[in-house]
Structure 1
Amino acid sequence: MTAVDLQAVHDTLVSVAFEAGRMILAANPSSISTDTKMNAVDIVTETDQAVERMVSARLTAAYPSFAFVGEETYEAGVTRVTDVPTFIVDPIDGTTNFVHSFPNACISLGLVVDRRPAVGVVYNPFQDLLFTGIKGGGSFMQRNASLEEGKGQGARVKLPLGGASPPALGDLSSALVSIEWGSQRDGENFELKARTFRKLAAAKESGGGMVGGMRSLGSAALNLCACAAGQLDMYWEGGCYAWDVAAGWCILSEAGGRMVSGNPGAWETEVDSRVYLAVRGARSGQKELVEELWKVIGDGKMEYKH
């Protein structure tokens, strides 16, 4: 790995996250300018854009030799994640939640080095909930994170919440799995998702997975952090981008979780693959649960352009 002071980067990202959080909380979703990108459910607001401008300015000033990839400045077919240290940023992950004042949105700040997640900071300002991870240094969760120490700031709790030896994973019937519809609502990718969701929910007697439960948090970064914490067992996604997963991936990995491909059979996936399957840390059962979910997907394969 290229020599980078990951702790210093982490500290900078936490500071940036808190500033972004103040901007997000100051916005009034009912009065801000809102536009769409791909379709009516692919939303961008003036707050997304303002936060990214602030983040880009601060990180470029602090680390001028690093590359920057942000959701709002991404150019399809042009922007690439390379081997150089790169900040990968989603100014508001969960924009649909944000515009509805549903308190499940966050800023996602990741650093990848040699195309691998190295630092992750995910901050939900509505709940003042901070998740952080440093490659080789573990990952943590903190409530009331922006308050002063000794004046309400929560303890910095090492992840997963189950401790150093988290509970074993069972089969799908006992699993809590997060899914998302995404913004693409037609075509084969959408049909594969719909078939898989139905099959996951269906009884085993009718060929289903009889999954314990399915959740949609509306934010890829928060889905990954919930897996890292052990609050979710798995998260399956196709269609999101590197900025949705880079920070959460680091946090998940440092909590003993694993990221593989959302397409069956591929145990390795890239940060910009757009197809992901996350499984929480566990004493045992990761491989078996991944393979069980892949079996539900069957021969299908999601394919997304960059």
Structure 2
Amino acid sequence: MQLSADEILILYKFCQDLARSAGAIILQGSKTILEQKGKQDHGVNEKKNAVDLVTEWDVRVEEYVKDKIKESYPGFSFIGEESYSSGEQTPITEAPTFCVDPIDGTTNFVHGFPYACISIGVIYQKFPIIGVIYNPFLGQLVRSARLRVGSRTKYLPQYHGLKGHGSYLVSPLHPTPLRLPLSTPAPLRSLSEAQVGVEWGSDRSKQVMEAKARSYARLAGDGSSK
């Protein structure tokens, strides 16, 4: 299947609209969970090793996105986090393929922290050409697309024909796309000036946890752990 430049532009717009409509379901799910918080049955189960939380809303959002894609692009392949985890492992081929994480930041979503989003990407000829990230809680949309026309490459932040590269941010306060990064980061003179974040991961075995704790102590400790 070959995609023309115009078809990729339409696909780019489709992904943005789909992310926004799916975001409404994410907000609905968060509201429902918070309203039912404290009740014995509120649709929340634990993932493996109790590291992350999965809810019925992950599946609900993914199924919604998958159905919408089938309506508009029945010939495209689909890879979703929830369906992939359950054994539906679609290989990446030359064909256009949607890659979707329905709720990225499930733990935040379950606990009502407004830092969760839906991520939608499109791979074409084994190369990522479109990426859309939407946080419905903050109304922020990060989008990026790359369009190949013959031997040339055009990057599509907002409209067809703009040359260059990069990603753009759209928010309620800034409806005009803002190119990222919003400002050039200042050089980091030492690690003491950095904000260090740690993700412990899914392997909580004693050996792995101790190794990660030692690494964190070297990064953020007072030096006595050396």
TM-score range, shorter chain: 0.7 to 0.9
- Quote the Cα distance in structure 1 between the aligned partners of 2:107 and 2:62: 17
Deviation at 1:130, TM superposition (A): 1.2
1:101 aligns with 2:105: no
1:141 aligns with 2:189: no
Q: Given the alignment, which residue of 175, 195, 203 partners 1:154?
A: 175
Secondary structure in 2 aligned to 1:74? helix
1:55 aligns with 2:65: yes
Which is higher, the Rg of structure 1 or of structure 2? Answer: 2
The C-alpha deviation readout for 1:164-186, integer Å capped at 9, x for no partner, is xx544555344334432233322
Q: Which residue number corresponds to residue 101 of structure 2?
A: 90
Secondary structure in 2 aligned to 1:176? coil
AA of the residue aligned to 1:11: K
Q: Which residue number corresponds to residue 119 of structure 1?
A: 130
TM norm structure 1: 0.56
1:199 aligns with 2:203: no
Kindly tell me: are residues 57 and 185 of structure 1, through their superposed partners in 2, closer, same or farther at Cα, counting changes over 3 Å?
same
1:110 aligns with 2:121: yes
Deviation at 1:64, TM superposition (A): 2.0
Deviation at 1:52, TM superposition (A): 0.7
- Give identity over the alignment, percent: 40
TM norm structure 2: 0.74
Secondary structure in 1 aligned to 2:50? coil
Q: Which residue number corresponds to residue 29 of structure 1?
A: 33
Calculate the aligned-residue CA RMSD, in Å. Answer: 2.7
Verify the 8 A CA contact 1:141 1:156 in the aligned structure 2: yes
The C-alpha deviation readout for 1:17-73, integer Å capped at 9, x for no partner, is 111111111231133411223132332112111111110011122222221111111
Kindly tell me: are residues 112 and 193 of structure 1, through their superposed partners in 2, closer, same or farther at Cα, counting changes over 3 Å?
farther
Q: How many residues align?
A: 197
Verify the 8 A CA contact 1:121 1:132 in the aligned structure 2: yes
Deviation at 1:132, TM superposition (A): 0.9
Higher relative contact order (CA 8 A, sep 6+): 1
1:185 aligns with 2:204: yes
Verify the 8 A CA contact 1:29 1:98 in the aligned structure 2: no
- Quote the Cα distance in structure 1 between the aligned partners of 2:193 and 2:91: 37
Secondary structure in 2 aligned to 1:154? strand
Deviation at 1:160, TM superposition (A): 0.8
Which segments of 5 or more consecutive residues in structure 1 lack a partner in the other structure?
145-151, 208-306
Secondary structure in 1 aligned to 2:175? coil
- Quote the Cα distance in structure 2 between the aligned partners of 1:87 and 1:62: 12
- Quote the Cα distance in structure 1 between the aligned partners of 2:179 and 2:69: 26
Deviation at 1:205, TM superposition (A): 7.3
- Quote the Cα distance in structure 2 between the aligned partners of 1:189 and 1:76: 26
Kindly tell me: are residues 167 and 66 of structure 1, through their superposed partners in 2, closer, same or farther at Cα, counting changes over 3 Å?
farther
- Quote the Cα distance in structure 1 between the aligned partners of 2:190 and 2:87: 39
Deviation at 1:80, TM superposition (A): 4.5
- Quote the Cα distance in structure 2 between the aligned partners of 1:74 and 1:101: 26
AA of the residue aligned to 1:35: N
Kindly tell me: are residues 62 and 160 of structure 1, through their superposed partners in 2, closer, same or farther at Cα, counting changes over 3 Å?
same
Verify the 8 A CA contact 2:104 2:116 in the aligned structure 1: yes
Verify the 8 A CA contact 2:45 2:55 in the aligned structure 1: yes
Verify the 8 A CA contact 2:77 2:90 in the aligned structure 1: no
- Quote the Cα distance in structure 2 between the aligned partners of 1:157 and 1:45: 33
Q: Which residue number corresponds to residue 162 of structure 2?
A: none
Kindly tell me: are residues 188 and 63 of structure 1, through their superposed partners in 2, closer, same or farther at Cα, counting changes over 3 Å?
farther
- Quote the Cα distance in structure 2 between the aligned partners of 1:119 and 1:55: 16
Kindly tell me: are residues 115 and 106 of structure 1, through their superposed partners in 2, closer, same or farther at Cα, counting changes over 3 Å?
same
